[in-house]
Amino acid sequence: MKKRIILASGSPRRKEMLERIGLDFEIIKSNCKEIITKTNPDEIVMELALCKAKDVAQTLKEEGLVIAADTIVVYDKKIMGKPKDEKEAFEMLSLLQNNTHEVYTGVCIMDASKKEEVVSFYEKTDVYVCEMTKKQIEDYIATKDPFDKAGAYGIQGIFGKYIKGINGSYDNVVGLPLGRLYKELLSLKEKGYDFDLD
């Protein structure tokens, strides 16, 4: 019998990316309290992805595979999630301009019937941001684009004009390392999990 696939995310970008690989899935947003107990960025994103996946898996009464992800920006050992206000967005963008930082996304795939992780992984992408003036940072914050994004920017939107380059997966920066996820889903199919995939 085909497995129900659930994306545990309220992010429109993650939904759009998952649609690209022909997966038939539904969305249940997680409400997990994002509590960080780890120190390394790779462990943090996998811990938070696990927390989101578990939160949604617990609400399911039937079988299914839950996919959850978490993205953070790291510069000089500082971990940046979504900015809580304009001041924090300004602080984040001031640090990122004229520098290279890392974006980590962790993914957790959980078997809802066993409440067990099936696969967990992360990817890291280096992002080079151009020098920005104070006014450019303020004008960008005024667009409100930063507030639902880790590190206070979205590479896929108007902030793209300040990106010098990246090293690694672009999709990973936008919130889901699609190539790696596709590979992991293919290997789950080979192991006997039944779902459609292009």
Ligand X SMILES: Cc1cn([C@H]2C[C@H](O)[C@@H](COP(=O)(O)OP(=O)(O)OP(=O)(O)O)O2)c(=O)[nH]c1=O
Min dist CB 14 to ligand X, Å, is: 6
Closer Cβ to ligand X, 21 or 189, answer by number: 21
Task: Please return the burial class of 112, using the count of CB atoms within 10 Å of its CB with bins 0-12, 13-18 and 19+.
Answer: buried
Q: In this chain, which of 11, 120, 169, 172 binds ligand X, going by CB under 6 A?
A: 11
Closer Cβ to ligand X, 111 or 122, answer by number: 122
Site string for ligand X, 70-99 (x = CB under 6 A): xx-x--------x-----------------
C-alpha 42/C-alpha 142 separation (Å) is: 31
C-alpha 105/C-alpha 89 separation (Å) is: 20
Contact assessment for residue 52 and residue 32, using Cβ atoms and an 8 Å cutoff: yes
Is residue 70 part of the annotated active site? The answer reads yes
Q: In this chain, which of 41, 64, 146, 175 binds ligand X, going by CB under 6 A?
A: 175
Structure tokens at 181: 């996820």
DSSP at 152: G
Positions touching ligand X (CB under 6 A) are 9-11, 13-14, 29, 52, 69-71, 73, 82, 103, 148-151, 153-156, 173-175
